Structure 1
Amino acid sequence: MSDTGLDIFDRTVQVSNEWLNEINAELGGEKKHAYHALRATLHALRDRLTVDEATNLGAQFPIMVKGIYYDQWHPATNPAKDERTKEKFLAAVDERLRKSATDDDPERACKAVFGLLQKRVTAGEIEDVKHMLPAEVQTLWPH
């Protein structure tokens, strides 16, 4: 565990690492790939939610993950106006993964992150988020 001298910071480092470890357990490989999968998937998801729903979801994240989630967000553009298909969603994740020089499979990344969210975020919030997504994107969530 980190030792910053502030319990809130130490705790968020610990919990954020737990999140990354859970994703990494699904993806394997280097832990940095788990970070890139988390970032790419959260940004693609956030950008397809209304501002209120994106904010409600982000409220349940550890502080460090909130920073990742809100980084470079432009709420005025939410929700994204692109075609609401699974292919477009995965393309958005893939684009973000490629920017980080990661050639991971975007569908595997999404499924790992959505599996984590399903465990770590309240069931009611997950249902609210899923209902904002097209049915074919909902298939990426665990059943």
Structure 2
Amino acid sequence: MAIEPVKEFFKKFNMEEKIMEFDTSSATVELAAQALNVIPARIAKTLAFKKDNSCILIVTSGDVKIDNPKFKSVFEIKAKMPSAEEVLSLTGHAAGGVCPFAVSENIPVYLDISLKRFDTVFPACGSSNSAIELTCDELFRYSDAEKWIDVCKNKE
């Protein structure tokens, strides 16, 4: 799995020790929430979407879904996810461990405002059994995000 490049990435910031690895899978929002003993909404899920011959990554709160009209308004393309094989080849991370850290070059990362409800969130770290706790500001900085966007269905 791609956890080693993520650990190397976080060494630059003296943050590699904050990466948590679990004995159980954290490949889905529900499994990650169980492993971390937090509500699913605090899981920062990273979704890949096709764009031209590459992809973009959008990190959202674990309890929301992409709103197709909002997505199209922001990116001017239809929201289409790549296959698991394409995700690995495009991002360098396998499905279940996709994260916004240590990704292939020229993959833009965007953060959805659904995450801003929380002081800290838990994105994966390149494997299906890892996570790191970050503030939203840290997530923005370490993911080298382009900007905050609003592409999810509103939570009531």
Q: Give the TM-score taking structure 1 as reference length.
A: 0.35
- Give 1 or 2: higher strand fraction: 2
Q: Give the TM-score taking structure 2 as reference length.
A: 0.33
